[in-house]
Amino acid sequence: MTKTTQIFAGGEAFDQLEATAEELEATAAGVELLSSLLLEGQRAGVDPSVAKSISGLLRPIRAEMIKHAKAIRSVLPAE
């Protein structure tokens, strides 16, 4: 049994990884919502150029969250 197998043998680590992937996906969805609200924020007095800038900064962060969630899920056993 390899060290990695020993670490994951109990299943608890898989549960933690699953929870982490879910949290990353939920946070990414929240970032997407925030970005959308910023871009629609002209009604609330948000400067359009600021909204575009912040939205542009959030886009790669969201993409990284999704990428990491997918990477985590790729090591989890199939259900």
For residue 78, what are the CA distances in angstroms to 10, 13, 16, 21, 70? 16, 15, 15, 15, 13
Predicted pLDDT of residue 45: 84
Cβ within 8 Å of residue 72, ≥6 positions away:
17, 18, 20, 21, 24
Q: Is the dihedral of CA 30, 31, 35, 36 positive or negative?
A: negative
Residue 77 has pLDDT above 90, yes or no: no
Model pLDDT for residues 5-58, shown as the tens digit of each residue: 555 555 777 888 899 999 999 999 999 999 998 888 877 788 889 889 999 999
Secondary structure of residue 22 in the 3-state scheme: helix
Residue 3 has pLDDT above 50, yes or no: yes
Give pTM, 2 decimals.
Answer: 0.77
Distance, CA of 53 to CA of 44 (rounded, Å): 17
